[in-house]
Amino acid sequence: MKAEVLKKFEELHGDAQGVNVYFAPGRVNLIGEHTDYNGGHVFPCALTIGTYVAARKRTDRKLTFYSMNFERLGIVEGSLDDLTPSKEADWTNYPKGVMWAFAGRDMKMDCGLDIVLYGNIPNGSGLSSSASLEVVTGYLLKDLYGFDVTNVDLAKIGQYSENNFNGMNCGIMDQFASAMGKKDNAIFLDTADLSYEYAPLVLQGAKIVVTNSNVKHSLVNSAYNERRSECEKALEELQTVVDIKGLGDLTEEQFETHKGAIQSEVRVRRAKHAVYENQRTIRAVDALKKNNLELFGELMNASHVSLRDDYEVSCEEIDVLVEEAWKVDGVIGSRITGGGFGGCTVSIVRDEAIAAFQAKVGAAYEERVGKKADFYVVEIGDGPSRL
């Protein structure tokens, strides 16, 4: 990958002298979905797929961006003197948003950049290609311009830029998982205060399999922001009867006691998901620590049902993938992962069942929805780096 982006850089800019290549991973979330903006817990891990960027400083204030994934767009130009979002800027709004957020923290770039990018995260898959791009941008700015930021700062800056520059009201999970990834570990993160611990993912005789529905979703235009505002409203209503900062502060019992304060049936279901999913995540990590993979799988399955019925962020294609996965012997658990409305499922599958899982789920999916699914047996990798 490094050689590929360097070769393309040389092709576009005449030479690759003084060019650095950087990488930041995508992520998959094992459990804890739509809890990160509700003050709950999440349990993601960084992947070994992600975004590769070749970058070199310029002598002027110009910015040039080229993506090997969107070659038809050619070189997209920008300027440090005009860091504003625009439709024409297309995908470059993500790195530009990070530069804008750095400048807002008084870390201003003194010269422009040439950037050539290649991502091997399937686009629109829900494996956080945008967070990966934000984190790799932050990491290369830190490295090239000597900005004093930690990897936790990079996660916060990435989230801030996506919220305020790109208009996507995401929580912190995706950027945190990319910035703080650790090989062979998942991250048990409390999004209320960003306290976290690494949990070794010892899946004796099993692997994580990500299944891509190949249904593309654009979260900015989806019901994601709507779900977030429904939860915020439900929280306000609950705060009239109970002293909490976020929905993640409640146990299931407390929620059932106080849910009458929520004035809409839809908001009751949204808040119920946030509360129950947070508790499921805490129990799932505990199960993993006790090597109880069966319980972990049951909690994954329950998470999907809640996301489908209470939070309503699944879709027909994803439900088919999960239902078919549940039928296969050797599948420990399977659920939707990511923001929803398409994208991927994540399953934990026993080694000896992986081939049958891919064959059976793939065939049933094609028969029932007329689309092909892609399967990735994923490895858990580290956070961002200069290669």
Q: What is the CA radius of gyration of the chain?
A: 21
- Cα 147 to Cα 106: distance, rounded to the nearest angstrom: 10
**8-state DSSP, 75:** P
Contact 373, 362 (CB under 8 A): yes
Whether 329 is a known active-site residue: answer: no
- Cα 60 to Cα 111: distance, rounded to the nearest angstrom: 6
User: Helices in the chain by DSSP H: which ranges?
Assistant: 2-13, 93-104, 129-145, 151-164, 173-180, 224-238, 252-258, 265-289, 293-309, 316-327, 354-369
- Give how far the C-alpha of residue 127 lies from the chain's centroid of Cα atoms, to the nearest Å: 5
* Backbone φ, ψ for residue 292 (5° rounding): -100, 80
Active-site annotation holder among 174, 190, 249, 310: 174
Q: Which residues pair with 343 in a beta bridge?
A: none
Contact 198, 182 (CB under 8 A): yes
Contact 274, 40 (CB under 8 A): yes
- Cα 332 to Cα 348: distance, rounded to the nearest angstrom: 5
Q: Do the bridges between strand 113-119 and strand 76-79 make them parallel or antiparallel, or are there none, so unpaired?
A: unpaired
User: 313-336 burial by CB neighbour count: b if 16+ within 10 A, else e?
Assistant: bbbebbbbbbebbbebeebbbbbb
3-state helix vs strand vs coil in the chain, percent to 5: 45, 20, 35
- Cα 284 to Cα 147: distance, rounded to the nearest angstrom: 38
Active site positions, annotated:
174
